[in-house]
Amino acid sequence: MAHRGVLAGGAFLLICSVGPALAGPCTQDIVRIQSQVDAKIDAIAGAGRTGTESVGAQLHRQPTPGSLATAEQRLGEGRSMDTAIAALARARAADDAGNKPACDQALAEAQQAIGP
């Protein structure tokens, strides 16, 4: 029985240590810039106009990212962040491939798109 506990503990430690090993060369930078993009999007959405409530919202359905993006486009908002979002997608692909120079370039584009 004691062996089972040691084995379970060892397996737990192995599983916990795999997560950081799976991170790419610029994963932490992606997370940092993603939070900046999210904050900028929240600021734009909070400062913008309000639209009419959709039928789905009236039926108490939760909005999806796609429905939010569609609503913001109808109001003429959110376009300024398209460049940053696309750059972050390229950064994730480069990070997954282990291509740090391409990841850094995409992150620089995302940072430039969101401004200071």
Query: Where exactly are the structural domains of the chain?
Result: 25-46+53-114
Task: Please state, in angstroms and rounded to a whole number, the distance separating the CA atoms of residues 34 and 84.
Answer: 9
Q: For the segment 18-66, what is each residue's pLDDT rounded down to a tens digit?
A: 444 557 899 999 999 999 988 887 777 677 666 677 777 777 777 776 6
Contact 102, 32 (CB under 8 A): no
Could you identify the residue written with the tokens 């997560």? 19
Identify the pLDDT of residue 107.
96
Q: Does the predicted model carry a pTM greater than 0.85?
A: no
